[in-house]
Amino acid sequence: MNEVWLVILPLIAGYLLDLAFGDPRTIPHPVVGFGNMISWAERHFNCGRFRKWKGAVVALSFPLFAGMAGWGITVGTLAVGDWCFCIVASVFVFYGLANHSLIREGREVVDILKKQGVEAGRRRLSWIVGRDTSELSPKGIYTAVLETMAENLSDGVVAPLFYYALGGFPAMMAYKMVNTLDSMIGYKDERYRQFGCMAARLDDVLNYIPARLTALFMALVAYRPGLFRFIYRYCHQHASPNSGFPESAMAGILDCRFGGAHVYHGLLVEKPYIGDNDREISYADFRIAVRVNHMVTLLTVVSIVAVYLCVFIK
């Protein structure tokens, strides 16, 4: 089989699997294993002296391990046959994508908010965001869901696909390890400031291009007049060098306002506002965000396929 099709077929199959099923909750998942590894390392090494250096070793060695394991699986499955590799690679692409699960988690929050009230919505939202949700209004809950969907469209969809395009599923898994490290230890509080420093910086570096691609693709699939100017104006209104791009794109598409003061791990964080239309947000806005996420995911997959067909097929 042509090597190009060994990239394209697993990509399409993994995308379709994610579109249909999302992350399984009852069978083993590589990211769960990544999380267990990180938890073990944090318990054993985030103590005593040299925490920053120990955290740097973890942040660099764990993604290398994930990539090398993926490379070993690639060599082993190709030795069996192209069909074996395609099946295994498709499963890893499926595991590497998070769009279906991202939308599912967001929908569960807003459905519970509608059916069971604010307290239930706050509790369910706390499963997917790092901020304190105990005092959020319904508008604050909707805003948190939309911000999370925009940010994770980059982290959980475009970035994994970007690294798959560069290095197959081993590179995709290495990126997922970096992103998991950042989500677990990449905080600036007293516990993680030193140990998680390298993980946070590495995640920022790896997401630099994907975050900007995500904003571009969001603007292309849901363009409205002035959207590019809006993104340019607000994309740096965020503590993260990357998250402001997809969040400003989503705020511009919905003509709403993100940001403001939130509590993270007991600390009050004043986020600059993204947008200036402080309007009410409703379920209709969530449905628009869902369409945007689906369209951006499809556009990313189609773009990778097109590049491979145009560049590598003689």
pLDDT tens, the chain, 314 aa long? 788 999 999 999 999 999 999 887 777 789 999 999 999 999 999 998 999 999 999 999 999 999 999 999 999 999 999 999 999 999 999 999 999 999 999 999 999 999 999 999 999 999 888 787 888 889 999 999 999 999 999 999 999 999 999 999 999 999 999 999 999 999 887 889 999 999 999 999 999 999 999 999 999 999 889 999 999 999 998 888 999 999 999 999 999 999 877 766 666 667 789 999 999 999 999 999 999 999 999 999 999 999 999 988 76
Q: Indicate the DSSP class of residue 190.
A: T
Q: At what angle do helices 30-45 and 82-96 cross, to 10 degrees?
A: 60
Global pTM value: 0.94
Q: What is the pLDDT of residue 60?
A: 97
Q: What is the pLDDT of residue 190?
A: 82
Q: Which domain holds residue 294?
A: 1-310
Tracing tokens 């379709």 back to the chain, one arrives at 16
d(CA 184, CA 104): 21
Q: Are 299 and 220 in contact (CB under 8 A)?
A: yes
Q: Which residues pair with 179 in a beta bridge?
A: none
Count how many domains the chain has.
Answer: 1
Q: What is the pLDDT of residue 54?
A: 96
